[in-house]
Structure 1
Amino acid sequence: MLLFAHRLFGDRAGGRNEFISTAGFTGLGGEAFDDPDRASAYGYRATPRALLGWVLDELNPDYERTSFVDFGAGKGRVVLEAARRPFMRCLGIEISPSLHEDAEQNLMHWPRSHMACREVDYVRDSILRAKLPDGPLVIWMFNPATDRFILRVAARLAERATAGQQITLVYVDPRHDMPFRQAPFFRARGIKDWRIRLLSPYRVRIWQAGPQISPQS
């Protein structure tokens, strides 16, 4: 019911500026491409636009110093919506060539008047290989891959955090969050915004790591 309400009242109106619709689900079963991480990737599911806004309100990062990264960018919705905020950079990482092409087309046709962030781009690569921006990161991850793959993602982020990078991970539909719950490098952040807790159609967990975050005991 909540997901239907988001699609009807929030997502439909926000999609008017899209060249290719970002709504719904797109599986990867019929797409053949050569990548060692192909078998670990799940299909694309659209993030409710309102949910992204609520989470960013909750985090209230130092936008001009912080980059936003979408792990599993799909058709580009989350990055384009995040770019309405004045992030230093907004980056989407997507392993599927066809989904990446859709995201590129949407960026090409997206009104620049809607973008407070001026450095917005997508890369076609694995989450484990793609170059991440320096400086503080807000990472969005909507259950993009298998549990074993997420374990490797957690290890990569922990390595960057121990090297001094400040990381905030937003994990939507966190089916494989055990690596973050067990690793001492990550600390769960409580969610205060009632909209996220009561009106989100998906569970949301926020994890933080870096020099300003006390490790979990």
Structure 2
Amino acid sequence: MADDDSEKQRLSKFSRADRGAYSFNGPAAAKPDPLAEALEQVIRSGALPTDRAATHAPDAPLPAPDVIHARLIEELHSAREQIRQAPVVESEPPRTHPPIIDVEILPPEGALSLTVPNTVDVTLESRGSFLGRARESLRGFQIAAAERMQGARQQASHFGRTGRRIAADLGAALSRRMRLKDWRRRRLALVALVHRHVFDRQTERLLFSKTPPLEVYAISEGEKGIEKEFVYRGPMPKKVLDWALSVLPRDLKRHAFVDFRAGNGRTLLLAARRNFEYAAGYAFDTEGCEILEMNLAQYPRSWLDCRDVRALRGDRDGLLIPSQPSVLFFPDALPAGHIDIILSYLAASLRIEPREIWLIFENAGREKGREQMELFEHVPLPFASEVKTWLFSPVPVAVYRTKTDKAPESDQR
């Protein structure tokens, strides 16, 4: 309201205005009306006066309570009517909540369309309205999200280009530093370690005297400085031995197996899992022979198909070539001088008694060019075994068999 008087002040004002109606031939201020004074006291304090001291005129008679009550009601009705008839000064209209209507949000390029109950389309362009501010806020959120997404894409693209560039630089540096020989050396070392620690783990657990730790690198000093080379000193892995023996006939009951340097007997025991008539391994010192005999004695017989497994002393008893069909194994640890001696004995034995002899060379290549090898022919492995050997064998393996179309020299004479 524009009037600065409160309701209580307005009632008091009206009460003072009626004081002149009760005056007696004098001004209103000279003789105040006791009833008007009592009404004013009632309006201000909210209680009826009980003594004359509460009024402005102590000598005036005090009106009765009933008269005060009736007059008070009349004054209140008069004040209410005047309040109703008082002019109303227009001020800022009160804010009201907008009606609930259905809103359809269009893409950012279009306008904001509103659907009202009377099916009239309304386009709000004003930013001051509630829906206009909501539209601006939504558009701001969309723009901010698009900017963040674009920034994330640019950052991811930058990281991707950086990672590819680093990988390419690293690969180029490695390719420049590592020659083909280095790649081959690392591949063979990895294959050898996989055979020893994965495929041969169970075999090693069954041995009383374990195989020495695997050493696959040998450092030597040459013309170009210090060089590292791959060297595999055996024993032959179980998988590789199985691939080499796959070319043999299935029935080996009439064949003997001989390992000319058995070591701790691991290759000998693996071969004894096939049905040979007997299997023998040579040792060339007292300690090596004791280790070989210990492993042969402690190995579980339930794993062996060949029941006759022997340990022989080569340095004391010499080498014996079996007089029956045999499979002779030449390990990588066997010196080249021993190979010449064994092949000489073998050639003399074949001239006396021709028979089927199979030769298996670990780390093949040392047998080539020898005169005694003219009595034997190379036997290729089955295709699957050949591929496996070429890919997953740490050492090359070669298998030979006595020639059937060439008679010994003693028969030709």
Q: TM-score range by the shorter chain?
A: 0.7 to 0.9
SS at match of 2:240: helix
Q: CA deviation at 1:7?
A: 0.6
Q: CA deviation at 1:127?
A: 11
Of 374, 389, 394 in structure 2, the residue corresponding to residue 184 of structure 1 is 374
The 5 A counterparts of 1:123-138 are: 123-126=312-315, 129-138=318-327
Check the 8 A contact 2:240/2:393 in 1, yes or no. Answer: yes
The 5 A counterparts of 1:89-168 are: 89-126=278-315, 129-162=318-351, 163-168=353-358
CA distance in 1, matches of 2:211, 2:405: 35
SS at match of 1:168: strand
Indicate the residue corresponding to 1:14 in structure 2.
203
Task: From the superposition, tell whether residues 21 and 206 of structure 1 become closer, same or farther in structure 2 (CA, over 3 Å).
Answer: same
What root-mean-square deviation, in Å, do the aligned CA atoms of Structure 1 and Structure 2 show? Answer: 2.6
Of 175, 195, 204 in structure 1, the residue corresponding to residue 397 of structure 2 is 204
Larger proportion of helix: 2
Scaled by the length of structure 2, the TM-score of the pair is 0.44
CA distance in 2, matches of 1:63, 1:103: 24
SS at match of 1:51: helix
Q: CA deviation at 1:57?
A: 1.8
Structure 2 unmatched ranges of 5 or more: 1-189, 216-232, 408-413
CA distance in 2, matches of 1:24, 1:181: 36
Higher deviation after alignment, 69-78 or 175-184: 175-184
4+ residue stretches of structure 1 with deviation over 6 A? none
Task: From the superposition, tell whether residues 59 and 158 of structure 1 become closer, same or farther in structure 2 (CA, over 3 Å).
Answer: same
Larger Rg: 2
CA distance in 1, matches of 2:354, 2:397: 25
CA distance in 2, matches of 1:126, 1:200: 31
Task: From the superposition, tell whether residues 58 and 51 of structure 1 become closer, same or farther in structure 2 (CA, over 3 Å).
Answer: same
Indicate the residue corresponding to 1:195 in structure 2.
388
CA distance in 2, matches of 1:138, 1:127: 23
CA distance in 2, matches of 1:173, 1:22: 19
Indicate the residue corresponding to 1:172 in structure 2.
362
Check the 8 A contact 1:71/1:93 in 2, yes or no. Answer: yes
Q: CA deviation at 1:161?
A: 2.3
Larger proportion of strand: 1
Check the 8 A contact 1:76/1:106 in 2, yes or no. Answer: yes
Higher deviation after alignment, 92-101 or 102-111: 92-101
Of 184, 194, 208 in structure 2, the residue corresponding to residue 5 of structure 1 is 194
Of 236, 239, 243 in structure 2, the residue corresponding to residue 54 of structure 1 is 243
Check the 8 A contact 1:25/1:46 in 2, yes or no. Answer: no
Q: CA deviation at 1:171?
A: 0.3
Check the 8 A contact 1:22/1:76 in 2, yes or no. Answer: no
Task: From the superposition, tell whether residues 181 and 198 of structure 1 become closer, same or farther in structure 2 (CA, over 3 Å).
Answer: farther
Instruction: Give the letter aligned to residue 206 of structure 1.
Output: V
Instruction: Give the letter aligned to residue 390 of structure 2.
Output: R
Check the 8 A contact 1:70/1:93 in 2, yes or no. Answer: yes
Q: CA deviation at 1:111?
A: 0.6
CA distance in 2, matches of 1:3, 1:106: 23
Check the 8 A contact 2:321/2:346 in 1, yes or no. Answer: no
CA distance in 2, matches of 1:161, 1:86: 24
Check the 8 A contact 1:186/1:207 in 2, yes or no. Answer: yes
Instruction: Give the letter aligned to residue 401 of structure 2.
Output: Q
Check the 8 A contact 1:23/1:46 in 2, yes or no. Answer: no
Task: From the superposition, tell whether residues 3 and 25 of structure 1 become closer, same or farther in structure 2 (CA, over 3 Å).
Answer: closer
CA distance in 2, matches of 1:96, 1:2: 31
Deviations for 1:73-97, whole angstroms, at most 9, x for unmatched residues? 1110011111111111111012132
Task: From the superposition, tell whether residues 128 and 105 of structure 1 become closer, same or farther in structure 2 (CA, over 3 Å).
Answer: closer
Instruction: Give the letter aligned to residue 363 of structure 2.
Output: D
Q: How many residues align?
A: 198
Check the 8 A contact 2:378/2:399 in 1, yes or no. Answer: yes
SS at match of 1:169: strand
